[in-house]
Amino acid sequence: MAYVISSDCVSCGSCAGACPVSAIAQGDEHYEIDASSCIECGTCADTCPVGAISQG
Ligand code: SF4
Ligand code: SF4
């Protein structure tokens, strides 16, 4: 399963810069992961300061 971003996201942008395949972008309410692009490396989850990213 791809990684997902929860509503805990504070839109800092750190995960988007860390993703090797540019699968993360700002969405309507918080940052979002494009599940079809995510290669499940886990880098974003390690980068998020508020623990908003987990494996879906
Ligand atoms: S798990 Fe890896 S590939 Fe998927 S969104 Fe996070 S950083 Fe990008
Ligand atoms: S690193 Fe965490 S808080 Fe920052 S934009 Fe990504 S999901 Fe949101």
* 25 φ/ψ angles, rounded to the nearest 5 degrees: -145, 160
Q: 12-53 pLDDT, tens per residue?
A: 999 999 999 999 999 999 999 999 999 999 999 999 999 999
Give just the sign of the alpha carbon dihedral 12, 48, 39, 1.
negative
Distance of alpha carbon 43 from the chain centroid: 9
**pTM of the full structure:** 0.95
Q: How far is the CA of 47 from the centre of ligand 2 (A)?
A: 8
Q: How far is the CA of 16 from the centre of ligand 1 (A)?
A: 9
What is the rounded distance in angstroms from the CA atom of residue 50 to the CA atom of residue 27? 17
50 CB burial (10 A radius; 0-12, 13-18, 19+): exposed
Which residue has the least CA distance to atom 8 on ligand 1? 19
